[in-house]
Amino acid sequence: MRDPYKLSVGVPSVEVFRRLRTDAGLSDKNSEAVALALPNTWHGVVLHHEGEPICMGRIIGDGGTAFQIVDLCVHPAHQGRGLGRRIMAALTEELERRAPATAYVSLIADGPARFLYEKFGFADTAAHDSIGMYRVMSGGPGPRGMDAAPSAEVRIRP
């Protein structure tokens, strides 16, 4: 039987990226931000069904010490068929092939997706005396590139 799904390396267009995220229930990102982000992808994959992009995943990072798996999403009409697992397998295979052995790879697991990620060796950071933290930038750039966030000055004494 012919596999109707074809995996390709790369990233989708800005429009397809936004559609895949929102179709899968993830938050939308504005076009300008996506246009800046996609060329900075360390490795990305898109899964097509009969030529139509229906899944994606990306790895971002500095190329040496830190990587993050992001934007993993599957169109709802194709969920439950192991496609998220295919995307994760492609991403982790590339990490194992190219990332240094001491690299730190992170991701944010929403809901039951954690069970998929655990199958690829990811563990809850809280079990290791760490917690994941995040900040969403809202509005536009404020003072010092931060969105009106309070600043703390650090002085180093000689």
For the whole model, what pTM was predicted? 0.83
Q: Which residue carries 């982000």 as its tokens?
A: 37
Task: List Cβ neighbours of 38 (8 Å cut-off, separation of 6 or more).
Answer: 11, 12, 14, 17, 44
pLDDT digits 0-9 by tens, 114-136: 999 999 999 988 888 888 888 88
Answer for the pair 18, 29: CB distance below 8 angstroms, yes or no. Answer: yes
For residue 22, what pLDDT is reported? Answer: 97
- pLDDT at residue 9 is higher than 80: yes
pLDDT digits 0-9 by tens, 50-108: 999 999 999 999 999 999 999 999 999 999 999 999 999 999 999 999 999 999 999 99
